[in-house]
Structures are given as structure tokens and as C-alpha cells.
Structure 1
Amino acid sequence: MSSSATAATGLDALFSPASVAVVGASENPAKWGYQLAIGALSGRDRRTVHLVNRRPGSLRHQPFAPSLSALPAAPEHVVVAVPPPYVDRVIGEGLELGCGCFTVITSTGSTAAEERRLARDVTARGARLLGPNCMGVVDASSQLNLSWGDFPTGGVGLVSQSGNLALEIGRLLARADQGFSRFVSLGNQRDIDAADAIEALISHEPTRAIAAYIEDFHEGRRLARVLAAAHAAGKPVMLLTVGDSAASARAAASHTGALVSTRTTVDAMCRESGAILLRSAGELVDTALYLMAHHRRTTRPPRSADAGTEPALRVAIVGDSGGHGALAADTFTGQGMDVPPLGAAAQEILRAHLPGRESHHNPVDLAGAGESDLAAYARVTAGLLNDTTTDAVVLTGYFGDYATANPAQRHQECQVAHELADACDTAGRPLIVHTMARDTPTVSALRRRGVPVYERIEQAAGALAAAHRITSPTPPLPPAPPARRTLSDAHYETAREMLSSYGLRFPAAEFVHDVDTAVTAAQHIGYPLALKAMGLAHKTEAGGVALDLRDEAALRTAFARMSATTGSASYAVEAMVRAPHSHELIIGVRRDPSFGPIVMVGIGGVTAELTADTAVALAPLTHAHAKGLLLRLRHAPLLTGWRGAPAVHLDAAAQAVQAVAQAAAEHGELTALEVNPLLVHPHGATALDAHGVLSTGDSGSVLH
């Protein structure tokens, strides 16, 4: 036979092939091969479809071919749904024929190394592989359906490692008259991975929002760049992943391992790339509905110059009962938004449209005005949408259900729905509707006009809060320069020396092995001082720290006790650092296998894990980024001056964070590096302890 398959440009053969073959097609509706074949045949107006099974048979008047080689021309896209022992044989045959893409549904049962070898064979021939162990691919615009299940059509492009989760998301979208533009089931990601699939969605015009469920991250920084490109193209990305991982706590013998989980790492990547990390299929769908309606309309209040963080979103609420409005106010406030008193201009609008009221508060209670005149909903809402002190407007309660009780009101209620959508378009501000109605003509009219409608008020609040967390990507990370040195031992002196070369300040110190040498060191340094036992990751808990030693007798007593308690062979004699209005921070970096060095800053000291007040980012950092991390902490007001106390030297603190991140990024032999505590005060920042983990194959050597 002749080979007519052509090498696909990018992923063209995956999403829009000229021909498809389903290998393992079946006449049995209970089998995957049947569902895949039926789906493939649904697009035969757009492409040639072949069904392959070594046993004779047919489906919908199309006979089965015994093999790929028996086809009149090689298909561009081959769907492999055969038992595991035959997968390699089918792919090998397709490669010889020149097929451009293979979607492997089968779970091969092979090792990861064997699957990677198979993927290398495919890509070496200029072809691509999706899977194995995947659910397939769907593209509504090209009428491609190579998967199991029903996929409603809409504006969401979904990339997922879970097939059943995709089906759940699809059903939730369908209930809101939405669906998928594309669906890619990643499976084991041996070739086509999440970054590839998401990148293909950026230029896909029918896709208005991108959703992804990822368990295994490949080349995390490449994925971050793709997510930033999606943000720049106006395609908001929503991500789901598995939760906090106990494995991450074992990544380093330090506080950092306990404070930086897999989820916090992914959240940091999302924050820096302009994506958003969510927790459930329902939350994802609620947020997608909002973003597809209002992504381009969303306005943000000005950034607070002294706080360094986004201020709360200001929400105006219109309810047709006091209860609905009050509960909505509590719900949105609970999600971190502000329901502020209305300004003079907004109150003037309400006086014009709701005369006779003694006061006009936020939330606005129509109190029967809507029942007597449905147009009041549009007039009041439009006025609030056009008020410059309002960032978003929520309409909550009964609107949408009037025609259910009185069909004669159907036309007018739908007309008001269009007036609400017109007002939203004119004002360029988001409108969210919460209604007790379901599937009414008015609800459908609102959704067709791009106004998100929610059945529960907490869905509306969650969607707006989640969308507001999408921030602009940070500037491109500065690349880590080549390592200037290689750490070859695990001595604390080495760690101090290395960090000091990056500008980190430490107290004066000498390292000793016996009490007499410690006394001599104390004479050089001067009292009061601190004594620390080396070789312990958590010195304080192990009795390895003695502070404020004021004379030789105190030093000898502390040394004897510490030697008996810890059995350490070496000790640090350090100057005590005193600073009024000081606070303790922790800076930690761990090397993530997918994302590389990850820096964490938080409230430190012995209570670091108790407070768990941290901010995380990819390393290295710019100075501005390091400062921004400090200002994101819940306890940031302590650093900027709380209740009249002077602020700490925030630039010095940021320089310390930047230095530790840079050091770890430049030293690939370190799997973890930590400074805890970093004492920050109005005049500077001083590192009081540091340790790290030096990689030695499968284990680490701790730097104390």
C-alpha cells in the first residue's frame, strides 16, 4: 500500500486529522472499542474514518479492516484500544506506514521506562503520542470525538489526567448551558503533556477559558511559561491538582519541608504565571462561567501603595428581600470582598429610582419595587454598575422566576434580562446573578447574553473571589548564573561562608570542639553570647541552644549540659544580637523535581510550623519580588509597623530573601537550604542560624 499520511504541524494530527483509524473497534456497546468507533464515525463528514479489528465485523454499515496495513492509505491519527500485549505492534505498524499521531487508550501495564522508550520511538519518526492510559481527545470545532462519554459543546478547553473528572465537569457545565471546546485526556504523559495541550488551546479561537487537572507535572517551569502566555493572550487558566503531599515534608530535614507542600508549590507557580489554583470540579465550573462572561470586563481597584497587595474587591448587592441581601453581604464578605457603604452618587441614583425610602444602604433592598415594576431591577442595577466606586454588582433573590408563577410576565422578564446585560456591557463592570429559579427562559436569556447565573449565593461569591485572585504574571525570572563554587563538605562554617558571600549578614562566631576553646572564643567575641551545638536540624528542641550567656561560668555550665544532652562534637560560639522592635523570619529553599528551586519566606523561629504563615515563589527572585513575598504574609503589618511600632528595614529583609534564593539556585548540589531565624529590625537583618541538605545520590548530607 502507499503511505499518504503527512507529518502534522504541531498537534494538527491530534485535533484535526484528515483521517482516523480506531484499532480495536468493536460491535459490543459495552466495550471501549465500540464507543470510540461510534465517536469517530460521528465525524466522517469531516474526515475519512477507518475501523480496524483482526476479527471480521462491521459497525453502522462500515466493515472492519484486519490491520492498518490493509487500509487503502495510512491514517493521520490512530486510536489504539487493543489489549496491552498488542500496543507496541500496532504503533510499530503505524510508524512504518507514516501515521502522524497515536492516541493510546490502553493501559499498557509496562514500566515507565518502557513507555518512555515507546514514546521516543514515536517522536523519533516525527509523530506524536497521547497517553498511554488516557481517555482520548475531543475537538468540537473539528467534529472530532475520540473518547468515551458525552461532551457538551461550549467555550472551555479541558486538559485532564482524570477521565471521570472530565465527565463530571462536563455535566456541571451542561447544567449551565456551557461545555467544552476541546478535551484532552493526558494519561501518563509520555509525550504530549499538559504544557503541550494547553499551548495548543491558546491559539484555539473557540476556547475562551482553559481548565486543567494535573497530577504529574513535567518540566514545571516550561508549564509556567505556557500559562503566562495563555494569560497574555486573554485565555484565563484554572488548575486543579492533588492536595498537600506528605512526601514533600520528607524533602528536607528542616521546617521548609513541612511548610512547602506540593500544592503550595503549584499555587506559587500559578500566581507567578497568571493562572489560578482551585480545589474542586464545582469551583472550577463556577469560576469558568464567571471568567467566560467577565474576564475582559473585570476591573480592579487601585493597588495599595503601602500594603503591597490587592485591596478587597468592592461589591454592590441588590436583593428583592432583606434576607437575601443580608446573607449575600455576609457571604461575599466572608470570601474577602468588601460590601461598603454606597457613595453619594450611588445614593442619588437610588433616590431617583427608589423614592420614598428613608435610607439607601448596601445591600440594596428593593422591598417590593421589583414586584410592582420588573423594570426596577434593571434601573437600579444599571445605576450601581455605572457607579465608579463599585467594582462588581450582584443581583440576588427571585428575579428569573416571575414567569414561572405568572406566564404572562415571561416577555417582560426576559426583556429586563436583556436590559441587565446591556447595562453590564455599557458599564464594563461585572454583573453576577443569583436566583432561586432554574432553567427558566429568563435564566437562559441571561446566560446567552454572557451574564453568569448561579443557583446558590456561595457559588457566586466563590467564583468572583477566585477570579479576582488571578493576577498579572511576575516579570520573567532572572536566570541563575553558572555556579561559582561547589560545596564539598557539610560543615556549618561552609554554609555561613557561602551565604555570607551572597551578602547575608551573620553574627560574629567561632567554631570549637571543647569548653576551653569555647572560653577563648568568648574572650574574642565578647559577652553576652550564644552557644549552639552543631549537627542538629532543630537545635532548640534538642537542647542545642543556650542564649544570653553573660560570663565564663555560664558558658562552662551551658557547655557541660549541652555536651551531655546532645553529644555534639562541635559547637558555635556566637555574639548575641539584640535589636528592639525585631521579628523573626524563616527563609527556606527546596529543590522540587519538577519546578526546580522553590523559595519560602514566613514568620520564623521555633513556632514557624505552628504559625504556618508563609509565601512561596519560584527562585531566583528579583528584589521587588522578594519584597512582595514579605508583604503577602498575614503578619506583614508587624513588619510595616503595627500600632505605632517602627517598621523593620524591609529592603534589608528582602535582600536577605533574595540572597538565600540566589544561593540555592546557583548551587544545584543543594536539595534544601534554610535560614531560621532571620532577625529583622528597623536597622537591618541578621541571620541567626542556617542549615541545608547537600545531595549525595539518594540521600542528603545536612549542613548545620
Structure 2
Amino acid sequence: MTPEQDPLDSLFDPRSVAVVGASANPEKWGYWLASGALAGRGRRAVHLVNRRGGALDGVPFLPDLGALPSAPEQVVVAVPPPQVRAVVAEGLAAGARCFTVITSGGADAEAEQALASLIRGHGARLLGPNCMGVVDTTSDLRLSWGDFPAGQFGLVSQSGNLALEIGRLLARAGQGFSRFVSLGNQRDIDATDALLALVRHEPTRVIAAYVEDFRDGRRLGRALAAAHAAGKPVLLLTVGGSAASGRAAASHTGALVSARATVAAVCRDAGAVLLDTAGEVVDVAACLLAARGRAASHPAAGNRAAGAARVGAAAPPRRAAADTGPSHPPASRPRTAILADSGGQGALAADACAARGLDVPPFSAATAATVAAHLPPGAGCANPVDLAGAGEADLATYAQLTRALLTSGEADAVILTGYFGDYATANPAQAARETEVARELADAATASGRLLLVHTMARDTPALAVLRQRGVPVYERIEQAATALSGLARVRTAQLRPPLPTPPPSPHRAPDGDYETTRDLLCSYGLTFPAAEFVHTADEAAAAALRVGYPLALKAMGLAHKTEAGGVALGLADESALRGAFARMTAATGAHRYAVEAMATPPYAVELIAGVRRDPAFGPVLMAGIGGVRAELLADTALALAPLTPDHARDLLLSLRHAPLLTGWRGAPPVDLDAAAAALCALARAAAEHPELTDIEINPLLVHPGGAVALDAAAVLGQSSLRAPRLRAQCVEHQPDDQE
């Protein structure tokens, strides 16, 4: 491969293609693959193989790959599963460099892995098995079922039918595909490989992906960040929104970290946009393509967009503990101007925008006066603008007001919502004039360099066709327009934080996940716990209390949720209270081991929960949130891949809904955010260096103006973990006025 060649050129732009299993029957896959391949024969050699003979479009079917006049660079395999391996072996012998296997590659996963190993062993690549093929409209390669309109949209998908749905929606929106890759079972070429190929592909401007199996999730996260850095953000669809796995019984962390929440965190930190439906993908893609077009035609707008995309690229300076501001400037919400045919539509549009994080600010007196000059007396001149029939009286009003709002300097985008585009339906005589105004609207958007979105009750009319052709997104429902604009805002305000390298495993393995050994482990990473001793009897507890000091806490060991089980007693002031609590706790829990621990009651403290759960695809995932006994009730959490930087940890805390509790609520002093962030980083590194732990959790982590102290901890050990000597570390009693 020369330096200029793409590693997947054999997949997307092969010099020759052979379709094995070609058919002349339009009802069969072999027909679509063969006819699609023949559509590109002006660019490459195309060979059709079917041992039964026949022909398609004047091209005869050859009996096998050995009968080809030259080596095929890519072989498309559409034969019954039992024949796949033989066809692949034949193709390798003929010199093929890439195989797209439509059918299943074997009876089970092991057989498919063996097929992939065979192909890779010869230096070739495999797409599939069990995939729908590949399309590259820029290289005239169409090796799939269905129609794929040409455009600038690249798609990677594990679902073939979803790709067909997206194709229909793209065509309706006046958009199309640059490339489509059906991943199938990902035995070799996976989602990350395909995404990186789309990043390298200049004609692809927007990328979408539907992924169920993330394989190496951290590698995928780095690919998402690379796409964003290249100006090609990824719109991601996935599954996994269900609640926690069975580990929820062992830790709060398991209940608060779902698969989808992990993917959402990776997308946030990689500049990708996680969406819910195929329709949302197309809506946001149309908006992104329009914004890119505006930036290309108006350099000033392009510079603004590029500047927004670079927010957070440089690490901010570290702040003092008393500084309660965020560690980066808060992402400004895009200012949206709404121009509506009625007050009701304008109000609903404003609500839809606000619900999606967009700002609909009031206009200045000057802009309101400019708007009023085009409207009848009494019309709404604020934001949203109520046309109050002015558009019906003169269609030119739509263009005049849209231009005024786009150039006002008070809006980053304008949404025109209502009836425009449908006048010709009711009155064909207005078709020419409405189409002319549509051109004026597009001209205004292009000249301003700002984004115009149109929501209309019409569907396919001449005026809407003009808007789509000129790169103005058109939507049938106002929530589509608001979602699209919100997706664009998320892309432009993203702060890239690709996954940090995972540190090598520690040579000291955790022997178990009980409180004593977990706190020993965490103390060795710099976390602070109150002084404690571990006992078995009431007499041992009384003796330990003299050394620890009253008041103190008594905790029963071996319980997943101590409070609910009656396994925690706090504020015990003397030996009598301690012995009474010990007796009650023994009767309630049957525990055989207890912790006698000093009380930590610093003023103005806030309880957090912090945990790390090991995800099979993404590795250790840190969760931080509002903690204590209300952790699962409030479910106010933020996630990030572990390990992470202190600035990232700080920003996670500030992203919580209850973050004002940390920054000074109702006159309380702010907590030490730097100490809280350092505690999160220490926990994250401990988990990353101890892969034998599937979960590790601190609840609560008490953060206060003087620092942070962990009051309880637990871990879940994986089944394959090995026993090792316990880690011991000195844990000192926490004092309220300490400055850790």
C-alpha cells in the first residue's frame, strides 16, 4: 500500500469486483449485487460468478473465480453459508484483497472467527459476514440491496433495514449518501475502522452510525473525537437504554450506570451526538450540512463555527479552592429568532426550542422597530414574531422579515414556522411567486452566513423543493427543527476529551471487596477516611472506641446496603450507646464483623456518591453524583471514562443538577471542588489499575469547604480475580478544619 492509499480502498474503490452468487432474478440478492456492480463498470472491471451459468445485462456468468481473466480485488459472497469458506479460499488463491460476505460465514461465531483469521492471514480484509454490503456513490460502487441517493452523508450501520429507512428520509430531505457500510457481525472490519475511513473520505461531510456491539469502546471514542476534530461530527444511534444489570444488588453504581448512559458520556467527550431515532439523525444531518454550506459561503460565519467547535481545546488554568466558577466558559445557548404565521405556532416553537436548550431572547428596541415596520398594527414584534396575516397579504413579507432577523446581529439562527410553502397547494396561481420568495429566503440565508430552518405544514411543493436544493432544511414538525438546531449546538459547543490511556494493572491485587480492604486500597491512592478499627465482639468494640474516640459510628460488615438493613448507627456518644447499638445490629443483621469509626461532621458538607463500574466494551467508567441514602432516588449523576483529569472531574461535578449545593447554596460557603475532583481522580485511577474489581464505590463522599472525606466504600471482585496479600495504608482521623 502506497502512502496515498487508504487502508480500505479495496473495500470502497476496488479496481475490480467479482460477485459470487450473481443472479438474473430481480427477487434475489444476487441480482441487486450484480446489477449494482455493473453500474460501476465504467470505473472498474466487473465479473459475475454463478456455477449454473446465465447472464445479466449482456455479461455472462462465469463458473467460478478460477475462470476470471484477472485477479478480483474485491469478492462479494452471496452464496449459501456452507459454501462461503470454499469461495473465500478460492478468492484468496486468485489474489483477492477484500471480501464482502453477505450471508452468514458459518454455523456459529467460532466458524466466523476462523473465516476472518483465514482472510487476515493472507493480508486481506473482511466486511461481515451477515452484512448488507457497501456503497460508495463517489466511486460508483453499489454492492447492496436498495436505492441509495447520492449526497454527502456517510453511514455505518449494524442494521440494514435502518439504512434503508435513513435513505428514504434523506431523499425526502433532498440529501443522500456518500458512503454506506453495513457492518454485519464485525469479524474483521468494525465500526471504528469504517468510521475512520469516512473521516478520511473528503466527500463525506456528516457521519452517522448505528452500533450495537462497540467492541473496543475506547478506540471508538478516539475515532469519534477524530471525526469531530476533522469537522465531521458523528450522529450516533444505539440500544441499551435499559436499567442496571444484576450487579445493582451489589452496589449503587450498578444501578446508576446504564449502557446507554456510558455511550452518552463517551459521545459528550468526543464531540458526537447521541440520538434516539433515524428521523432525528436525518433532521440533524440536514441542519449540519446546511450550516457547513453557510460557513463555506460566508467565511465570517465559518470562523464563528470553527471557534465554537474549538471551545475547551486548551486546558484551563487550575483554580483555587475558593473559586466556584466552572473550569471553562459555559457553552452559550444559540440565539434563535422565530418568525411564525400565528401566535400559537410561535409560542409552541419557542417552547420546543427552550426544551432543547436553545435561547429565544427578546429583541432590542431597534430590531423590534425594524420588525414592526413590516407588520400590521398590534402584531407581535418581540421574539417570537407573529406575522398576523402579513405573509398572506404579501408573500414578500416572509423574505423581508427573514432577512432582517438574519442580519440583525441578535440571532444565530432563524426558524420560519407556519404556512409558507403551502400557498401554491391551495392556489396554484401563487406557485411562481411563492417559489420566487423561496429563492429570496435562500439568498438571505446565504448572504448572512447564518442558518435558516423552515417548518411548514406542506410536504412536497415547488417552493420547498427550491429551499432544499439551496441547502435550507425543511421540517414537517416544529420539534424536528428544534431538535436539529439543538444537535448543531451540541456539536459546536463540544469540548473534546478523548479517552486517556488506561494505566497498566497494579501488581498488588485486591483480595476481596469488603470495607476494610477497599478503604485500605483507596487510602493508598490518597483518599482520606476517618480513623477506624474492625472488631468482632462488643468488648472489642468498646476497647476500640477508646482509641478511636467518641462520638463514633458503628457499621456492620458484609452488607451491600447497610442503612436499609439496619447495619449503621451514627453519633454514638458513649460505651452504653455503643453496646446497645451493637446488640440491636447483631440481632437485625446477623453480622459477625463490625467497623468502629470516628464521626466526620464538618460544617456545610454535601454528600456525594462516586463509583467506577467496569464496562465490557469501554472499560472503567466513573460515576459521580449526589449521594447518601438518596443516591438512587435523585439519580443526579454524571459519567466519564476512567482515568480522567482533575479539570474533567471538576466539570462533571458542576454539570450535576444539584451543583449549586457545591458552589454555595443560600449563603453556604462553597465546598472545595479541587479536593472533590482529586478524590474522583484517585478513585478512577485505583479502579483503572485494578481490573480485578468490576465495581468500586464510595458512598458517601463528604465534600466540604475544607476538603473531602470518604465515609464508606465497597467493591465487587470479578470471578477470575486472584488472591493476594492485603494492601495496608494509614488512614487518619478527619478533622473539620483540615485542608487536604
Whether the TM-score (by the shorter chain) exceeds 0.5 is yes
Alpha-carbon distance in 1 for matches of 2:412, 2:703: 37
Q: Which residue of 2 aligns with 1:4?
A: none
1:423 aligns with 2:452: no
Q: 1:602 to 1:516 in 2, by over 3 A?
A: same
Alpha-carbon distance in 1 for matches of 2:288, 2:214: 25
Of stretches 248-257 and 608-617 in structure 1, the one that deviates more from structure 2 is 248-257
Q: Which residue of 2 aligns with 1:447?
A: 468
1:237, distance to aligned residue in structure 2 (A):
0.7
Alpha-carbon distance in 1 for matches of 2:669, 2:188: 55
* Superposed counterparts of 1:356-505, under 5 Å: 356-357=377-378, 360-470=381-491, 471-490=493-512, 491-505=514-528
Matched AA of 1:337:
L
Conservation of the 8 A alpha-carbon contact between 2:610 and 2:622 = yes
1:501, distance to aligned residue in structure 2 (A):
2.3
Alpha-carbon distance in 1 for matches of 2:610, 2:72: 55
Deviations 1:45-82, CA, capped at 9 Å, x for gaps: 22211111111222222221111011111211101111
* Superposed counterparts of 1:112-511, under 5 Å: 112-245=109-242, 248-250=245-247, 253-295=250-292, 296=295, 309-354=330-375, 356-357=377-378, 360-470=381-491, 471-490=493-512, 491-511=514-534
In structure 2, stretches of 5+ residues that fail to align are: 296-300, 313-323, 728-740
1:230, distance to aligned residue in structure 2 (A):
0.9
Alpha-carbon distance in 1 for matches of 2:244, 2:376: 63
Q: Which residue of 1 aligns with 2:622?
A: 599
Conservation of the 8 A alpha-carbon contact between 1:8 and 1:127 = no
Aligned length: 697
1:527 aligns with 2:550: yes
SS in 1 for 2:210: strand
SS in 1 for 2:454: strand
Instruction: Choose which of 21, 25, 29 in structure 1 pairs with 2:26.
Output: 29
Alpha-carbon distance in 2 for matches of 1:252, 1:20: 54
Q: Which residue of 2 aligns with 1:581?
A: 604
1:364, distance to aligned residue in structure 2 (A):
0.5
Matched AA of 1:208:
R
Q: 1:469 to 1:131 in 2, by over 3 A?
A: same
Instruction: Choose which of 36, 40, 57 in structure 1 pairs with 2:37.
Output: 40
Matched AA of 1:487:
R
Q: 1:433 to 1:699 in 2, by over 3 A?
A: farther
Matched AA of 1:398:
Y
1:419, distance to aligned residue in structure 2 (A):
2.5
SS in 2 for 1:250: helix
Deviations 1:558-616, CA, capped at 9 Å, x for gaps: 11121222222221111111133322111111111211111111111122112111111
1:120, distance to aligned residue in structure 2 (A):
1.6
Of stretches 368-377 and 438-447 in structure 1, the one that deviates more from structure 2 is 368-377
Alpha-carbon distance in 2 for matches of 1:484, 1:243: 31
SS in 2 for 1:431: strand
* Superposed counterparts of 1:551-566, under 5 Å: 551-566=574-589
1:386, distance to aligned residue in structure 2 (A):
2.3
Matched AA of 2:482:
A
1:349, distance to aligned residue in structure 2 (A):
2.3
SS in 2 for 1:64: strand
Alpha-carbon distance in 2 for matches of 1:644, 1:315: 35
Of stretches 348-357 and 660-669 in structure 1, the one that deviates more from structure 2 is 348-357
Alpha-carbon distance in 2 for matches of 1:252, 1:622: 30
1:92 aligns with 2:89: yes
Q: Which residue of 2 aligns with 1:543?
A: 566
Matched AA of 2:585:
M
Conservation of the 8 A alpha-carbon contact between 2:510 and 2:723 = no
1:683, distance to aligned residue in structure 2 (A):
2.1
Q: Which residue of 2 aligns with 1:608?
A: 631
Alpha-carbon distance in 2 for matches of 1:291, 1:142: 24
Conservation of the 8 A alpha-carbon contact between 1:252 and 1:672 = no
Conservation of the 8 A alpha-carbon contact between 2:244 and 2:257 = no
Q: 1:38 to 1:131 in 2, by over 3 A?
A: same
Alpha-carbon distance in 1 for matches of 2:668, 2:244: 40
Alpha-carbon distance in 2 for matches of 1:682, 1:56: 82
Alpha-carbon distance in 2 for matches of 1:433, 1:503: 56
Conservation of the 8 A alpha-carbon contact between 1:307 and 1:631 = no
Matched AA of 1:93:
E
Alpha-carbon distance in 2 for matches of 1:165, 1:472: 27
Q: 1:252 to 1:25 in 2, by over 3 A?
A: farther
* Superposed counterparts of 1:671-690, under 5 Å: 671-690=694-713
Of stretches 302-311 and 528-537 in structure 1, the one that deviates more from structure 2 is 302-311
Matched AA of 2:580:
T
Alpha-carbon distance in 1 for matches of 2:218, 2:544: 47
1:205, distance to aligned residue in structure 2 (A):
2.3
SS in 2 for 1:183: strand
Alpha-carbon distance in 2 for matches of 1:609, 1:644: 27
TM-score calculated relative to the size of structure 1? 0.94
Conservation of the 8 A alpha-carbon contact between 1:252 and 1:693 = no
1:517, distance to aligned residue in structure 2 (A):
1.2
Alpha-carbon distance in 1 for matches of 2:403, 2:117: 59
Identity over aligned residues, as a percent? 65
In structure 1, stretches of 5+ residues that fail to align are: 1-6
1:318, distance to aligned residue in structure 2 (A):
0.5
Q: Which residue of 1 aligns with 2:539?
A: 516
Bigger relative contact order (CA 8 A; separation at least 6): 2
Deviations 1:66-111, CA, capped at 9 Å, x for gaps: 1101111121110111111111111011111110110000123432
